[in-house]
A and B are shown apart, each in its own frame.
Chain A
Amino acid sequence: MIIQLAYVPFLQPLPTVAQWWWLLLVPACAAISVIWKAVRLDTLEHFWREAITMTAHSVLAMAALAAALMVLLRVVIPLLATS
């Protein structure tokens, strides 16, 4: 008999993370940007604008890196193997 226990937040690991783990990049980048801008900015007048801009830059840079790696693995390396 298989017993399915209910998920207990903070005590058990989150189930099904394996399918959408890459989405955690966004909150991780947001938190890092908030801390970095809180430390680096001289005044906090434009804090949220700066933090959101840095988050967007980080996420876009990671996405571009992922796309470049995918092209390398799926297009460039197979071409090298056949040539």
Chain B
Amino acid sequence: MTVEFEEPTFNLTAAIVGWIVPGAGHWKVGQTARGWLILLGVGGLFLLGVLVGGVDCVDRREDGMWFIAQAGAGGLAFATDGLNTMFLKSGRVGELLPLAVQSGTVMVSSFKGAGPSNEIGTLLCGLAGMMNVIAVLDVLYRSTPTVSANSSASNGAFE
């Protein structure tokens, strides 16, 4: 079987789509199997992070530096931050407790994470974001594969 590649093109739309939904950029350029594998990897890593640290491990306001890395996972990171604000910070789930800080007293959720769980969850979500950035950079210049007409059988590599 012969697999030929078109000239690499600048796939800006695919890169944006791939940032919002991990793997979707590869679907857009016709590499469906790669897209699913990227979604499995990035989504799995991100979900593992949220499972370990809770939704509080993605916090745009309090952990701004970490969120830069986590935001690489696009929609997943922003959705989790939204859920954190909607449920925990508003007190809709759990209860808001007063916490004394240097500048006074702030109200924090009783579900707020602290300690190794939160740190590891934050790290795993950050890793997921950075790995998705690699996938986005890959799809930016990825050429669309075409299987030539004289091929005898497909190896399932490309869909």
Residues of A within 8 A of B (CB): 8-15, 17-18, 21, 24, 27-28, 31-32, 34-39, 43-45, 47
Of the residues B38, B127, B128, B158, contact of A39 by C-beta under 8 Å: B38
Q: Which residues of B contact A14 (CB under 8 A)?
A: 51-54, 117, 121
Q: Check A34 against B37 for contact (C-beta < 8 Å).
A: yes
Known: A17-B52, A17-B116, A21-B120. A39 touches B34 (CB 8 A): yes
> Which residue, of B57, B115, B116, B128, has the highest number of chain A Cβ atoms within 10 A?
B116
Distance in Å: Cβ of A24 to nearest Cβ of chain B: 6
Known: A15-B117, A39-B135. A34 touches B50 (CB 8 A): no
Residues of B within 8 A of A (CB): 3, 33-34, 37-38, 40-42, 44-45, 48, 50-57, 87-88, 93-94, 111, 113-118, 120-121, 124, 127-128, 131-132, 134-135, 138, 155-158
> Which residue, of A8, A35, A47, has the highest number of chain B Cβ atoms within 10 A?
A35
- Complex: A63 Cα to B148 Cα, angstroms: 45
Distance in Å: Cβ of A69 to nearest Cβ of chain B: 19
Known: A13-B115, A43-B155. A24 touches B52 (CB 8 A): yes
| Nearest-CB residue, chain B, relative to A47 | B37
Distance in Å: Cβ of B90 to nearest Cβ of chain A: 13
Distance in Å: Cβ of B143 to nearest Cβ of chain A: 11
- Complex: A15 Cα to B98 Cα, angstroms: 23
Of the residues A11, A27, A47, contact of B48 by C-beta under 8 Å: A27
Q: Which residues of A contact B156 (CB under 8 A)?
A: 44-45
- Complex: A14 Cα to B114 Cα, angstroms: 11
Q: Check A12 against B38 for contact (C-beta < 8 Å).
A: no
- Complex: A62 Cα to B127 Cα, angstroms: 17
Instruction: State the 3 A-B residue pairs at the shortest beta-carbon distance, nearest first.
Output: A13-B117, A35-B41, A38-B37
Q: Which residues of A contact B44 (CB under 8 A)?
A: 27, 31, 34
Q: Which residues of B contact A34 (CB under 8 A)?
A: 37, 40-41, 44
Q: Check A32 against B45 for contact (C-beta < 8 Å).
A: yes
